[in-house]
Amino acid sequence: MEKRKYGLDTIAIHGGNKGRNPENALNPPIFQTSTFVFDTIEQVEKAMSFESDDYVYTRGNNPTLKAFEHRMAALEAGNASVAFASGMAAISSVLFSFLKPGDNLVANHCLYGSTYTVATGLMRRYNVNCKIVDMTDVNSLEEAIDKNTRVIYFETPSNPSLEIIDIKKVTEIGRAKGVKIVVDNTFATPYFQRPLTLGADVVVHSATKYISGHGDVVGGVAVSKDEDYIHSLKFDYMCEFGGVMSPFNAWLLLRGLKTLGVRMRQHEKNALEIARFLEKHPGVKRVYYPGLESFAGHDTAKSQMDGFGAMLSFEVDGGLERAKKVVNNVKLIKLAVSLGDCETLIELPAAMTHLGYPKEKLAEFGFTESMIRISVGLENVEDIMEDLDSAIRCE
């Protein structure tokens, strides 16, 4: 583990701060402006050629976005980061930044639905081939890499089957072949896992989730140790494609981050209790949660994470029909896509977040049509359990 001066709770509150805020305000103001004013064309020229740090236009840079970017870089043990309008804006821009026609991308078989669609559909239109492999088996990863492979992409834990990919092993394989490693760290957050310290080149997030924590922002971010790469990602891709975050959203994310540690600890505590409760439930066939000793990825999770997160999936007896009844029967828990909010959310990935996956191939990708996914929230755990219990019993 890397040596840090401060702990992660402290970094989530103060990380990346550069001196005092205007008017000595404790919290930074929201620079709700599209453009910035100059006195002379000479000043403009310096800003345009990056000789000065002056701001020009919010699609390229803005002080509120910069404060959020510095904080995320500090949390992920990176040197720089770029904020995006959404997680998908971050993911697609990072892929476009590394790949050109004729290149190959190797991705894990279990991915968030839109990421799968971009990797296997959209990229193909630009003659980028995507090989889908099961990265829990590093041999199949090695076989998939060829002379045109430029990027290895995965989530760990993965959405929705919580597969754990060994970040160190994958980065060693990729590094040896000159391939860039991109890790989606949305489920773990930097509070529980920092892939850059394990060798990854770029970390991406849907900041919409735990980084916000309150279900009121859509945002994304990419972080790296390589400052030149981030500069190019920001000005050649984010700024040109135009997927910029709004200053208000950056401010809300800075606000959300202050409680990342307390939220994640409580989310995880609730999730572990619920996973254990589901594991013993007579109506439940299988539980997917990295914190369970019985889970396939448990040991790898223990070795590379500081906590197991609060996303879990499960299968009930009775297949899809029963699974639909469960999600229809919850009362306190909300039937919704997204995750990482204070509210516990439930969904059927194959019918919702992962609709883009071909139904006939779901098993190959490590999940099923009847899998139920839960984002465990911050309510009293007994209340969540009681709601789940009566929904599973279809009372």
Active-site annotation holder among 71, 131, 150, 209: 209
Active site residue 150: no
Binding window for ligand PLP (CB under 6 A); candidates: 22-30, 85-93, 232-240, 355-363: 85-93
Contact flag: residue 185 with ligand PLP (CB under 6 A)? no
Contact flag: residue 313 with ligand PLP (CB under 6 A)? no
- Judged on CB neighbours under 10 Å (0-12, 13-18, 19+), 128 is buried
Q: Within 331-390, which residues bind ligand PLP (CB under 6 A)?
A: 338, 353
Which is nearer to ligand PLP, 61 or 115 (by Cβ)?
A: 115
Which is nearer to ligand PLP, 193 or 208 (by Cβ)?
A: 208
Binding window for ligand PLP (CB under 6 A); candidates: 71-79, 83-91, 278-286, 296-304: 83-91
Which is nearer to ligand PLP, 61 or 206 (by Cβ)?
A: 206
Which is nearer to ligand PLP, 36 or 241 (by Cβ)?
A: 241
The CA distance from 330 to 322, in Å, is: 13
Contact flag: residue 312 with ligand PLP (CB under 6 A)? no
Least distance (Å) between residue 157 CB and ligand PLP: 9
Active-site annotation holder among 55, 112, 153, 229: 112
How far from 49 is each of 39, 60, 234, CA to CA, in Å? 17, 13, 14
Contact flag: residue 208 with ligand PLP (CB under 6 A)? yes
Binding track, positions 218-247, relative to ligand PLP; x by CB under 6 A: x-x---------------------------
Active-site annotation holder among 184, 201, 341, 387: 184
Binding window for ligand PLP (CB under 6 A); candidates: 45-53, 81-89, 118-126, 253-261: 81-89
206, 212, 313, 370: which one binds ligand PLP (CB under 6 A): 206
Binding window for ligand PLP (CB under 6 A); candidates: 80-88, 100-108, 292-300, 381-389: 80-88
Largest pairwise CA distance in the chain: 74
Print the SS3 string covering the chain: CCCCCCCHHHHHHHCCCCCCCHHHCCCCCCCCCCECCCCCHHHHHHHHCCCCCCCCECCCCCHHHHHHHHHHHHHCCCCEEEEECCHHHHHHHHHHHHCCCCCEEEEECCCCHHHHHHHHHHHHHCCCEEEEECCCCHHHHHHHCCCCEEEEEEECCCCCCCCCCCHHHHHHHHHHCCCEEEEECCCCHHHHCCHHHHCCCEEEEECCCCCCCCCCCCCEEEEECCHHHHHHHHHHHHHHHHCCCCHHHHHHHHHHHCCHHHHHHHHHHHHHHHHHHHHHCCCEEEEECCCCCCCCCHHHHHHHCCCCCCEEEEEECCHHHHHHHHHHHCCCCEECCCCCCCCCEEECHHHCCCCCCCHHHHHHHCCCCCCEEEECCCCCHHHHHHHHHHHHCCC
Contact flag: residue 86 with ligand PLP (CB under 6 A)? yes
Which is nearer to ligand PLP, 213 or 329 (by Cβ)?
A: 213
Active-site annotation holder among 4, 46, 59, 276: 59
Contact flag: residue 87 with ligand PLP (CB under 6 A)? yes
Contact flag: residue 182 with ligand PLP (CB under 6 A)? no
Decide: 159 and 125 in contact? Cβ < 8 Å. Answer: no
Active site residue 112: yes
Q: Within 93-132, which residues bind ligand PLP (CB under 6 A)?
A: 112, 114-115
Total residues in contact with ligand PLP, by rule CB under 6 A: 16
Contact flag: residue 154 with ligand PLP (CB under 6 A)? no
Catalytic positions are 59, 112, 184, 209
Which residues in this chain contact ligand PLP in the complex, by CB under 6 A? Answer: 86-88, 112, 114-115, 155, 159, 184, 186, 206, 208, 218, 220, 338, 353
